[in-house]
Structure 1
Amino acid sequence: MDVQYWHWLVFGLILIIAEVFIPSFTIFWFGLGALAVGGILWISPMELTAQLLLWAFFSALLTVFWFVVMKPRMLDKTRAGMSREALLGETGQVISVPEGDRRGIVRFTKPLLGSDEWSFICDEPVQLGDRVQIRDVSGNTLIVAPKIYR
């Protein structure tokens, strides 16, 4: 049987559609590899062995590209959408000390719920630059305590 370019295109589309029913996000890359072989075969005919080697090469290359380059960049590092309980214990640095009725401001190295600076209330006195730890959340204000180092 002579494998034509459209065989690879149909095979690639079947694999990509199969990803919808078998959500592993790996079949997708084999489908894209098949589409690439179909495109190359459309331009330049080649033996079946070369086609299979190209398919394996493109599939592996695209899979590695996804897991090594793209997936790490797509991780959400902002902690947006975290529950209140997930915030408890997070540590930040005081950048504005509370005075009278004015609340202090604490900055975190990673944004929490979409912001890296939050107003805070603290029952104990804190100084500029002190490290504080979240004990509770009250509306849009954090309730913190000075960080205890052990």
Structure 2
Amino acid sequence: MTEMFTTLGTWNWLIFGFILMALEVAAPGIFLFWLGLAALLVGLLSFAIHPSWQTQLLMFAVFAAAAVPIWRRLAHSDTSVSASNPFLNKRADALVGRVFTLEKPIIDGWGTVRIGDTIWRVAGPDAPAGSRVKIVQADGANLTVAAA
């Protein structure tokens, strides 16, 4: 086993890194990618400084451990989709504050309103059909309204 470690070289780290990245493609989970990247970094540094096998293993451990917070920071910083369209997959939330006309009267607290090509169930104070109502809350597919 010691002989294997003493023969660790640049090419071994590069091959190990590519194998880990290939395994990531076969079984995605983003974990093996970062270990592969750490192995590639050790391999590239080994070209320049020719460290001992103990130093190579230490560099791999440090790079692999440093990859976790870097990955978390990169994963959480990708808010471009939610920033450009904050109501993506929250269609009902986008309706809060808007005013619509009741399609069917609100009787015993329930009625309907047509928004585009969709009929939504609304809850609120009794009102006749054709009344203008403002959406004050969205709870799943049910909207709570108040007189506008």
TM-score of Structure 1 vs Structure 2, range by shorter chain: 0.5 to 0.7
Give the alignment's TM-score, normalised by structure 1.
Answer: 0.58
Determine helix, strand or coil for the equivalent of 1:93: coil
Gaps of 5+ in 2: 101-129
Distance in 1 separating the partners of 2:139 and 2:43:
58
2:74 match: 70
Rg larger in 1 or in 2? 2
Q: State the secondary structure of the residue aligned to 1:133.
A: strand
| Shift in CA distance, 39/134, structure 1 to aligned 2, threshold 3 Å | same
Equivalent position of 2:112 in the other structure: none
Gaps of 5+ in 1: 99-121, 138-143
Percentage of matched positions with identical amino acids: 26
Measured after TM superposition, the shift of residue 23 of structure 1 is 1.3
Instruction: Find the partner of 2:51 among 38, 46, 55.
Output: 46
Counterpart Cα distance in 2 of 1:66 and 1:41: 24
* Deviation digits for residues 43-84 of structure 1 (CA, Å, limit 9, x no counterpart): 0011111111100111111122111x11112254236763xx
> What do the CA deviations read for 1:76-130 (whole angstroms, capped 9, x no partner)?
4236763xxx533666335xx67xxxxxxxxxxxxxxxxxxxxxxx94344xxxx
Deviation at 1:22, TM superposition (A): 1.6
Distance in 1 between the 2:140 and 2:58 partners?
58
Pairing 1:87–2:86 present: no
CA RMSD of aligned residues (A): 3.4
Q: SS where residue 25 of structure 2 aligns?
A: helix
Distance 1:3 1:64 in 2: 27
Question: What is the one-letter code of the residue matched to 1:146?
Answer: V
If each structure's helix is expressed as a fraction of its own residues, which one has the higher value? 2
- For 1:28, which of 15, 28, 33 is the aligned residue? 33
